[in-house]
Amino acid sequence: MTKISNIISGTMGWGSWGHNLNLKEMENLIITCLELGINTFDHADIYGGYTTETDFGKAFINLGINRSDVFFISKCGIQYPSKKRKLEIKYYDYSKEYIIKSAETSIKNLNADYLDLLLLHRPSPLMNEDEISSAIDYLKKQGKIKAFGVSNFQFSQIELLKTNCEIKWNQIEFSLTNNELAFNGLFDYLMKSKIKAMAWSPLGSYFKLKDVKSKRIERVLKLLKKKYDASEDQLLLSWIMNHPLNILPVIGTTKKERIKAAIESLNINLDKSDWFSLLVASQGYKVP
């Protein structure tokens, strides 16, 4: 089985929800990721209003890359109003039929033969554990998915599903500026349950908001940049990866220099005192 890379390329912004990359640009970006050591691409059926997987799949097949050299993640479950689906509201569907159909559609769109990892995109109050486990069992037996996981799930929701489903991953929103999950028991549960984690939006709001929190963090980062000879984004990624849960960041950038910088952040080993200095700056108070 293909091994997941320590940095994951998130494709949400590759298509119409972001940079509107054309076919050649997607091809070049895939090549750039692979050359720099990123073999893992994070998708979801809804990205680009159900169009980005198809666009990516065209670029992927054009390049003639060996399927076993890449690791494809996709997510399903959200019913998203778009040009492709004329829905009145956004909602979740985790029926057996829909999970199977969505996974098969993603595989087809990506020209992928199978998914290395299928995630349920967000928890639904109407989840039926038997239906979900039946769908995952079918997809695995058919060789259409290699592993199963969840995204944005808390421990009680994972407990509901893992009776009959082997859950390998939980993709969560986690960053220095959004660090609550490190304190509500979820990370302890994941480590105890041997469930791995990846983090979307790993830079958080630091570059988006110039609020009091960001200014506190900026003062600490200014000192650490000199100490570690690193950029702000590298230090923010390192802060995540220095957690014992061994969280893998899902980066959304399409710029080569920033992808390269993210890879280089793997070499930063933050001192514990520096890790806590950043935490204190984010929270605005000393540890108890």
Q: What's the rounded mean pLDDT across residues 105-129?
A: 97
* Mean of pLDDT over the chain: 97
Does residue 131 lie within any of the structural domains? yes
Does residue 216 lie within any of the structural domains? no
Does residue 285 lie within any of the structural domains? no
How many angstroms separate the Cα of 18 from the Cα of each of 21, 44, 54? 8, 14, 15
* Enzyme catalytic residues: 47
Q: What percent of the chain has pLDDT over 90?
A: 97
Q: What's the rounded mean pLDDT across residues 184-203?
A: 97
Q: What percent of the chain has pLDDT over 70?
A: 100
Does residue 218 lie within any of the structural domains? no
Alpha helices in 19-150 (DSSP H): 23-36, 47-50, 52-63, 96-110, 129-141
CATH code assigned at 17:
3.20.20.100
- Res 172: pLDDT: 98
The amino acid at residue 103 is A
Does residue 226 lie within any of the structural domains? no
Question: Does 1 have pLDDT greater than 90?
Answer: no
**Based on the structure, what is the number of domains in the chain?**
1
Contact status, residue 5 vs residue 40, Cβ threshold 8 Å: yes
- pLDDT (tens digit per residue) in 219-250: 999 999 999 999 999 999 999 999 999 999 99
Predicted confidence band of residue 276 (pLDDT cuts 50, 70, 90): very high
Domain residues for the domain of 56 are 8-210+232-269
